Amino acid sequence: SFLFSCFLLFHDMETKNATELTEFILTGLTHQPEWQIPLFLLFLMIYLITIMGNLGLIALIYNDPHLHIPMYLFLGSLAFVDAWVSSTVTPKIVTTECFLLSTMAYDRYVTICKPLLYSVIMTNRLCMRLLVLSFLGGLIHSIIHTGLLLRVTFCNSNIIHHFYCDIMPLIKISCTDPSINVLMVFIFSGSIQVFTILIVLISYTLILFTILKKKSTQGIRKAFSTCGAHLLSVSLYYGPLLFMYVHPGSEQADDQDMIDSLFYTVIIPFLNPIIYSLRNKKVIDSLTKVLKRYS
């Protein structure tokens, strides 16, 4: 995880130069003591609901044979990533979520634009390959930035204005020229986000043209219902992420950085199970069966 990479970084600094900083302080969300307990209780509640919602969605998909299709395989993987993000807050998993959202957009495209060929195109083998590539891409992205952080040293300030050990807050307090690190963040994070956003935009543009050609009102309603939840999730997710990583050179306040991070690492994992459950008839039907079984 990224926290482990931070530990390696700090250990490396200690062995190189005794004058370099080896202890760091995370400021958290607020400096005001009276807000700490209310915020702790609030985020504890959000975290518990996030974990129960995402793990519950995974269990629901796993136990219902009717949900053992690519769409719900991707949705279960997204729920797993959201549960992991809210627990560990690692940038590599965030990257993975970008790949998963674009993969889900492609799945929606095949569902609506090529319904007769869906089972031929979206085979189990292809789904597993897409999932492996999504997680592998996130892991490689993390390793690149972890390796580059080993060249950075800290000797002026040990205050990290953030609530977890993230790349940009660390770079801001370094006493080594971080130009290479900033450039790599811009290149890799920017490329991944532009690539995945393009997949989403192209997929939904083709879906829109297909929907407009339909003469059936019921078909149009079903298509919008299928895509609505995913579009909402994508819209909420990419905004803060773009501000945080694609524009690392901008003069944002530290508080704004934390708010952006808070949104895609805490709020989005909290909202996703609600969005996908309330907008999905099959998930609701499966949940109803489970509740009736144990009532």
pLDDT tens digits, one per residue of 132-183: 999 999 889 888 888 888 888 888 777 887 777 778 788 888 888 888 888 8
Q: Are 237 and 264 a contacting pair, CB within 8 Å?
A: yes
Q: How far apart are CA 90 and CA 139, in angstroms?
A: 10
On the question of pLDDT at 83 being above 90, the answer is no
What CA–CA distance (Å, rounded) separates 71 from 46? Answer: 26
Per-residue pLDDT tens for 212-265? 787 667 767 767 766 777 787 887 787 776 666 555 444 455 666 777 777 777
d(CA 133, CA 176): 34
CA 263 – CA 257 distance, rounded (Å)? 10
Length of the chain: 295
Q: What is the mean pLDDT of residues 28-35?
A: 76
Q: How far apart are CA 47 and CA 53, in angstroms?
A: 10
Strands, DSSP E only, in 87-170? 159-160
Q: How far apart are CA 295 and CA 282, in angstroms?
A: 20
Tokens read off for 76 = 């279960």
List the beta bridge partners of residue 36: none
H/E stretch holding 111 reads helix 91-113
39-43, 67-71, 164-168, 281-285: the lowest-pLDDT one: 164-168
Q: Is 59 helix (H, G, I), strand (E, B) or coil?
A: helix
Tell me the pLDDT tens digit for each residue of 140-150.
988 888 888 88
92 has pLDDT over 50: no
Mean pLDDT of the chain: 79
Please name each of the domains of the chain with its CATH number: 2-294 (1.20.1070.10)
Give, as one character, the DSSP assignment of residue 267: I
Q: How far is CA 20 from CA 4, 11, 150, 180, 230, in A?
A: 19, 11, 14, 21, 47
The per-residue pLDDT for 130 is 93
Q: Is the pLDDT of residue 20 over 50?
A: yes
